[in-house]
Amino acid sequence: MTEVTELSWPEADAPHTKEVLLNLGPQHPSTHGVLRLVLELDGEYVARVDPHIGYLHRGTEKLAESFTYTQIFPLTDRLDYLCPPSNNLAFAIAVEKLLGIQAPIRAQYIRVLMAELARISGHLMITGALPMDLGAMTALLYAMREREMVMDLMEMISGARMHTSFCRVGGVREDLPDGFFPKIREFCDIFPNRIRDYERLVENNRVFLKRTQGIGVISAEDGIDLGLSGPNLRASGVDWDIRRDEPYEIYDRLAFNVITRDEGDCYARWRCRVEEMRESVRIIEQCLDQMPDGSFQIDMPTIAFPVDKDRVHCSMEALIQHFDLSAYGFKVPKGEVYSAIEAPKGELGFYIISDGSPKPFRMKVRAPSFVNLQALFGVTNARYLADMIAVLGSLDPVMAEVDK
């Protein structure tokens, strides 16, 4: 660690090397998607970095203006595709605030449970991918093994492994399936030991430690100035978690620790996420213990689909309700709302302006990865090109969310 921090910029009287423009990406395994970095190199030092994004721009916000509120859920899935339930949840809460309703308690527990499973799935990706970027392939293979278990649970709940679209305005799509509880309890029993395995894989890996400790330090002031949020900011010592500070859904009934670290380097960001997974398991276990009985869907025929889908085939009213909601959606009162949740990547906010019609007038996504990626400018003591890879990996941007 000390060897790296003691290095200084080339002296002014050192032989001047010509600056070279290097194009990293858009297709490069370490850029985690289609990110292009234009780097100005002075020898092996990075003098300037200019990220070019937009290769995955699908116009989510523009599309949303022509979709009904229920139709937008699949669009939100495709923002941060490692953890779709969190995105669904953020959008559902925003619309529910506009409507002035709340999902039934059981639905809230199911949503939180899924959001925490999603957090584990998202964090597992970086737990394995950062060591892989730095040459330690093994961690990724083990992380994928556990991520497969999470994917299986997602499939069990929703029928889809990745794009679950399980939330609805006023609840979730359906109740938890039979046999789900033993399966997820098994996962909760196994998983904490597996987290220990990842830590042990990396803790004594001198190459990984040398390439992450003391590299890419972001101070707390810089982090706030650059708009970092989530684990990236907590790794710099800022004790802020929206789940605890502005509790949404049933997070105020759950006990969990907010993980912070003081170093603010690549290793701290990685470590923060690994430890957050333990807290997520705790939250899931509490959700399972406290899971109340009741409906998974709000009882409002103007907003929610019929709870019992079979009624659609034998009741005229249910058929009309189903058709109406599918074809025209529901009207949302005029107004505007900004609602943020703690997504795995940070503060995920939805700003929705409604003009009273069944489609949003304007939907803005405050995508945490988009803002976090910008922190590449604020990173200090990442001087070598190879450090850039570590910093990029530790900021954990998902390009689908960056590009919206």
Partner 1 sequence: MSVETSLIRTLIAERFGEAIKELGFSHGVHAFAAPPDMIVELCRFLKEHPALRFDFLSDICGVDHYPEAPRYEAVYHLFSLPNKWRVRIKCRLGDPPRIPSVTGVWRTANWHEREAWDMYGIRFEGHPDLRRIYMWEGFEGFPQRKDFPLRGYKDKLNPFGAEGTPPTQPDLATKDIP
Does 349 interact with partner 1 (rule: CB under 8 A)?
yes
Which residue, 10 or 358, is less far from partner 1 as judged by CB?
358
Nearest one of 232, 226, 258, 230 to 347, comparing CA atoms: 230
Which residue, 371 or 389, is less far from partner 1 as judged by CB?
371
Which residue, 265 or 403, is less far from partner 1 as judged by CB?
403
Helical residues (DSSP H) of 204-260, grouped into ranges: 206-212, 220-225, 231-234, 242-245
> By the 8 A CB rule, do 63 and 93 touch?
no
Assigned token pair, 180: 């789900």
Q: Rounded CA gap, 353 and 236, in Å?
A: 34
Q: Rounded CA gap, 239 and 241, in Å?
A: 7
Assigned token pair, 259: 């993980």
Q: CB of 13: closest distance to partner 1 in angstroms?
A: 31
Does 403 interact with partner 1 (rule: CB under 8 A)?
yes
Q: Rounded CA gap, 161 and 204, in Å?
A: 34
Q: CB of 384: closest distance to partner 1 in angstroms?
A: 23
Q: CB of 175: closest distance to partner 1 in angstroms?
A: 29
Q: Rounded CA gap, 403 and 47, in Å?
A: 25
Which residue, 63 or 136, is less far from partner 1 as judged by CB?
63
Q: CB of 350: closest distance to partner 1 in angstroms?
A: 10
Which residue, 133 or 241, is less far from partner 1 as judged by CB?
241
> By the 8 A CB rule, do 311 and 318 touch?
yes
Does 356 interact with partner 1 (rule: CB under 8 A)?
no
Q: CB of 23: closest distance to partner 1 in angstroms?
A: 15
Q: Which of 301, 351, 385, 386 binds partner 1 (CB under 8 A)?
A: 351
Q: Which stretch binds partner 1 (CB under 8 A): 134-142, 182-190, 344-352, 387-395?
A: 344-352
- Which sign, positive or negative, has the C-alpha torsion 77, 194, 176, 183? positive
Q: Rounded CA gap, 298 and 303, in Å?
A: 8
Q: Rounded CA gap, 71 and 76, in Å?
A: 10
Does 36 interact with partner 1 (rule: CB under 8 A)?
no
Q: How many CB atoms lie within 10 A of CB 1?
A: 14
Which whole-number Å values give the CA distances from 151 to 92, 161, 170, 232, in the listed order? 22, 5, 25, 25
Mark residues 223-262: x for contact with partner 1 by CB under 8 A, - for none. Answer: -xxxx----------x-x----xx----------------
Mark residues 83-122: x for contact with partner 1 by CB under 8 A, - for none. Answer: --------------xx------------------------
Binding-site ranges for partner 1 (CB under 8 A) = 53-54, 57, 59, 61-63, 66, 97-98, 224-227, 238, 240, 245-246, 335-340, 347, 349, 351, 353, 362, 364, 366, 370-371, 374, 377-378, 403-404
